[in-house]
Amino acid sequence: MKLIAITTGDSDGIGFEVTAKALSKIGPQANTQFLLFRQPQSEVLYLPILDKKFNRIVVPSLEAALSLKNQDSKTLFDICSKVSAPKNVEIAAKACFKKKIHGLVTAPLSKTLIQSSGYRAKGHTEILQNVSKTKNVHMTFIGKNFNVLLATGHMPVAKVSASLNVKTLQAAIQNADLLKKILPPKIANKPIALVGLNPHAGENGLLGQEEILTFKKVLKKFPSVLGPLVPDAAFLKKNWPLYSVYICCYHDQGLIPFKLVHGTQSGYHLTLGLPFVRTSVDHGTAKDIFGKNQADASSMKEAILACIQLAK
């Protein structure tokens, strides 16, 4: 029986809404059991749609859920406690690291809540990285039109250039190669694209030196990687079928085009480099529509199904 943990993020965000809606659409999955983390203040109006598909058992902790043996796939453990949302992520991640559970799906979690909860981490990725003590971890985004890997994580733009050394880019390429192994063969056989940092990819050094001093050294070692691509043309629609994965230099360089094209209707996040499976939605907490029953659960649905598949 695969045990899949799902954390629902900020209690005043859309995390619990999209989780409940996605699980309702998916329903029980063969040889799979869901462990749902939430706070007592979560919108309880979504509990009935879960109860239509699952036998929901409310427990106070992950340990309590794991102590209940011989449950079937229709059983959903509702772990409801006053533990903070970031702490729930840490608890679930530690259980994954210790192989007590087999995969983790996360709903959006605000950076302000992480900080106010006493964590120095800036996001999910850093919390998971701290738990697993893993260095080369990359955020990737899987979409129906194209895929993106971020060479750097949550950092100020002013620090990006100094972070893009040969070692950093090589690690990104190596994880992009891992990503190709789980993509459909038609896509996986395409080359990896490395997107330049500067306008016009540096214009032969006129608009920046990074492409000459760093990118070229890396590309010589990986002839199957193409680039550096001009950033403002890399994501033109005609280019989508040409590459298996776009490696982008910083957060918004990759996520602006990904979210613009895929929105909340498709696409999910996969963290590469961890010693366990973690998927997530590709959107934020959307607190402006909290409580309005307007959230699209498509990304969460994809994230859950991907986690189940990858946990094999």
Structural domain ending residue among the three candidates 100, 133, 166: 133
Query: pLDDT tens digits for 138-170?
Result: 999 999 999 999 999 888 999 999 999 999 999
Say if residue 101 is in the same domain as residue 21.
yes
Ramachandran class of 26: left when φ > 0, alpha when ψ lies in -120 to 50, beta otherwise: alpha
Burial track 62-82 (b if 16+ CB lie within 10 A, e otherwise): beebeeeeeeebebbbbbbbe
Say if residue 242 is in the same domain as residue 155.
yes
Residue 70 scores a pLDDT above 80: no
CATH of the domain at 169: 3.40.718.10
Residue 118, in any domain of the structure: yes
Say if residue 126 is in the same domain as residue 171.
no
Say if residue 49 is in the same domain as residue 170.
no
Pairing mode, strands 192-195 and 138-142: unpaired
- Structurally, how many domains does the chain consist of? 2
Q: Are 219 and 186 in contact (CB under 8 A)?
A: no
Tell me what percent of the residues of the chain surpass a pLDDT of 70.
Answer: 100
Specify the pLDDT at position 276. 97
Specify the pLDDT at position 266. 84
Residue 310, in any domain of the structure: no
Pairing mode, strands 32-38 and 75-80: parallel
Tokens of residue 157, six digits? 């733009």
Structural domain ending residue among the three candidates 133, 152, 176: 133
Banded model confidence at residue 246, pLDDT cuts 50, 70, 90: very high
CA dist 147 and 267 (Å) reads 9
Q: Which domain holds residue 225?
A: 138-259
Name the more confident of 295 and 33: 33
Q: CB under 8 Å to 62, separation ≥6 — which residues?
A: 5, 35, 37, 79, 91, 92, 95
Say if residue 108 is in the same domain as residue 128.
yes
Say if residue 98 is in the same domain as residue 34.
yes
Q: CB under 8 Å to 69, separation ≥6 — which residues?
A: none
Mean pLDDT confidence for 260-266? 86
Say if residue 88 is in the same domain as residue 111.
yes
Say if residue 55 is in the same domain as residue 118.
yes
Residue 69 scores a pLDDT above 90: no
Query: pLDDT tens digits for 12-46?
Result: 999 999 999 999 999 999 999 999 999 998 878 89
